[in-house]
Chains A and B, each alone.
Chain A
Amino acid sequence: MRKWSWMTILVAVMLLVSACGSNSSGSQHNKQQSNGGNSGSEAEKQDVTLSFIHWRGEDVEVLDGIIAKFEQEYPYIHVETQVFPSDQYQSTAQAKIADGSVGDVFTVFPGAQFQAIARAGLFTDLTGESFVEHFEPNLIAAGQQDGKQFALPYQLVYNIPIYNVALFEQHQVEVPLDWDSFLAALEVFKQAGLTPIAFPGADIGPGQLMNSMVMNNAPDEDIFVKLEAGEAKLTDEWWVKTLAQFKELNDKGYLQKDAVGAKQDSSIALFVQEQAAILGTGSFHLASNKASNPNLKQGLLAPITVSADEAVYEGIHTTTFMLAVNSKSKHTEEAKLFIEFLSRSDIAAEYANGTGQNVTVKDVEYTSEELQIVSEWTTKHTRFQPRFTISNGEVQKAVTNSIQAVLSGVSAEQAAAEAQAIVEQQIGQ
């Protein structure tokens, strides 16, 4: 019996040693791989299989067509695509690309995920590559860090509520340009028995609508950077005012009943059935709304939370689906060729018109009505999505959760104070 106990201890000790040792050997391996990372040019014309990972399941058909063209042009390169649901992608992509076996070309979200991958040194620096010039220079900043272009945003999204143009016309409501006229417009819809704003408060709503609600309350584009640096607080006027305005919308019945428990499916259903005048999400729902109700006439409308003369920004944009080359890849040259191919204006147009997504590439011609609605916004004064300037995931959650708190009845001051306490713990103050 005693011998068995000793054996158990021995096994445990061996496991402990291997557990402790595994990381150092792993990092050694990684170093060796990264040193040999640029062997693609030597292996030119040899058959290469590129792994491409992303989260846009709905774009697979269009991308497959584009990949077929790419493989025709470069017959020695074969592209294998793996797609993950976006929430899963946020959590697992890093682990998958870490050893370089998958994701020679990968996509990345701006903000927390971009920062984490940059910290881990998994990006190949794309600065100076000729294809970088194919992109609108002001739309690729989200993929830059310390003056280096690590990733190239491909999609352009406006995180601005969508409104039903026909309902606005029917009730003779003009697009509001300040907070008072916004509230007056919502009151008209409420009196008409409609839901003024369909707001998915349980999932994506707070993270989307907060952007346009805060953009003019805190015109400083670095406000959340300052929050994480401890130089600004959620208890300051800019955020308390934003929360109070969210509360006002809820308390006056301008959001649907029990909005904080509503998921996006039910909110979208309200909007596409024309029972709600505004959908509190973003331009990424324009195409799917239209597919559900072809008669829907849609536009984008950002709530202006200040008086018209104080308004600095007209809306919010996000550049996302950022294309990057894995620094651990053995085929970096081929990976760059693939990004170059995707960044050609005719290919980007094929992607945009096929998927209903606007792109950051120059000289792209949009054919669909929804894409034209969005492209009108490129000339307006918008700012990059403030939520994505928060690099700490828990800070981001504390911010959006404070919106859920006010919608549940907590005062703006208390919700802000509770969120600030979490922020301070996260940033180590």
Chain B
Amino acid sequence: MKKHLRLLPFILPGLVLYAVLFMYPTISALYYSFTNWDGLSPSYQYVGLQNYVKVSEDIIFRKSLGNNVKFMLTVVLIQTVVSLLLALQIYKKSKLNVFLRALYFLPTILSSVSVGFIWTFIYDSNLGALNKLLQIIGLESLAQNWLGNPGIAIFSIAAVQAWAHIGQMAVLFVAGLQSIPAEIKEAAILDGASQTGLFFRITWPLLAPAAAIVVSYTTIQSFKAFDLVFTMTGGGPNYATEILSTYIYSSAFLNYAFGKAATASVYFLLLIAVITFLQFKLLRTDRVSY
């Protein structure tokens, strides 16, 4: 016990920060989700589970959830596959690879609000660079109303989200690839493994912890991708890019329904917890051993 007490000063700052910045707001949100607080009035009433029923039936909440799933799947797929392919090209140590890693990482250090504004201009259907580029290379038929067409707007934003974070994920994969012992690969090659066999039987299974981090981080990140949506479309056109975080924001700050927003946050928290848990189970990170 004495030993534990001596260690307390080391963990206390972290624990206090975690409690104040994470646990307190989380518990507060849970508490307010059972009320009809408007965020301003000093008084409010307890409404039991009413908010939970209302939010689950809410047309906009359902649309947001559907959009969020589309957004997440697109981002997870593009981001994981492309960053893995890039990592396989640049994980070996050479000056060029170090430069390329830095280059791919560059979009990650830009503020996502700036990224949103930059891409809004690129996507502009009349003046934007993307449609102009397609026109120049003779692919005018592929020019789109990227952010104005409700059918593709969410995917246009997902592509930007992936673009901004592919470099970051590639670095995680590079770290994973570099930690795979070279002798295991050598042994497999000596045993006559093909490049495909080597990847699927040796590299990928041993890359599972890195892949789990990439996939779960990307999932969580894409679920809470508020800033890009907010700056690029504001949830429009006609709710086509409304996602859970923008739904929570507009419920709380534009519609003054904090109780409802808190309820949506609780659903959001549960959803992310379940998805992350399932991902870790499916990717079997606990089974990796050398």
A window 106-127: CB within 8 A of B = 112, 116-117, 119-122
- Which residue on chain B has the smallest CB distance to residue A395? B255
Q: How far is the CB of B3 from chain A (nearest CB, A)?
A: 12
Contact between chains at B24 and A19 (CB < 8 Å)? yes
- Cα A31 to Cα B41 with chains together (Å): 11
- Which residue on chain B has the smallest CB distance to residue A98? B40
Contact with B along A299-327 (1 / 0, CB 8 A): 00000000000000000000000000000
**Interface size of B by Cβ–Cβ distance < 8 Å?**
48
A266 at interface, CB cutoff 8 A: yes
- Which residue on chain B has the smallest CB distance to residue A27? B42
Instruction: Tell me the total A-B contact number using a CB cutoff of 8 A.
Output: 138
B198 at interface, CB cutoff 8 A: no
**Interface size of A by Cβ–Cβ distance < 8 Å?**
57
A100 at interface, CB cutoff 8 A: no
- Which residue on chain B has the smallest CB distance to residue A120? B40
Among A31, A202, A392, the residue within 8 A (CB) of B147 is A202
- Which residue on chain A has the smallest CB distance to residue B1? A3
Contact between chains at B42 and A422 (CB < 8 Å)? no
Q: How far is the CB of A189 from chain B (nearest CB, A)?
A: 17
Interface hub of B1, B37, B57, B60 (most chain A Cβ within 10 A): B60
Known A401-B236, A422-B59: A26·B23 in contact at CB below 8 Å:
no
Q: How far is the CB of A424 from chain B (nearest CB, A)?
A: 10
Among A112, A119, A269, A404, the residue within 8 A (CB) of B127 is A269
- Cα A11 to Cα B238 with chains together (Å): 44
Contact between chains at B234 and A203 (CB < 8 Å)? yes
- Which residue on chain B has the smallest CB distance to residue A195? B126
A258 at interface, CB cutoff 8 A: yes
Among A116, A260, A270, the residue within 8 A (CB) of B237 is A260
B135 at interface, CB cutoff 8 A: no
Known A401-B236, A404-B236: A94·B39 in contact at CB below 8 Å:
yes
Contact between chains at B41 and A401 (CB < 8 Å)? no
- Which residue on chain A has the smallest CB distance to residue B260? A394
Among B4, B31, B59, B255, the residue within 8 A (CB) of A393 is B255
A49 at interface, CB cutoff 8 A: no
A402 at interface, CB cutoff 8 A: yes
**Which residues does chain A contribute within 8 Å of B148, judged by CB atoms?**
201-202, 258-262, 408
Contact with A along B37-81 (1 / 0, CB 8 A): 111111110000000001001111000000000000000000000
Contact between chains at A120 and B41 (CB < 8 Å)? yes
Selected A-B contacts with CB under 8 Å, 22 pairs: A3-B4, A12-B23, A15-B23, A19-B24, A30-B42, A94-B39, A112-B254, A119-B38, A119-B40, A120-B38, A202-B147, A202-B148, A257-B126, A261-B123, A269-B127, A393-B255, A394-B254, A402-B238, A404-B150, A404-B237, A404-B238, A408-B148
A-B interface, 7 closest residue pairs, ranked by CB to CB distance from nearest = A261-B148, A91-B253, A27-B42, A120-B40, A258-B125, A258-B145, A393-B255
Chain A residues proximal to chain B, CB less than 8 Å: 3-4, 11-12, 15-16, 18-20, 22-23, 26-27, 30-31, 90-92, 94-95, 98, 112, 116-117, 119-122, 201-203, 256-263, 266, 269-270, 392-394, 397, 401-402, 404-405, 407-408, 410, 415, 421-422, 425
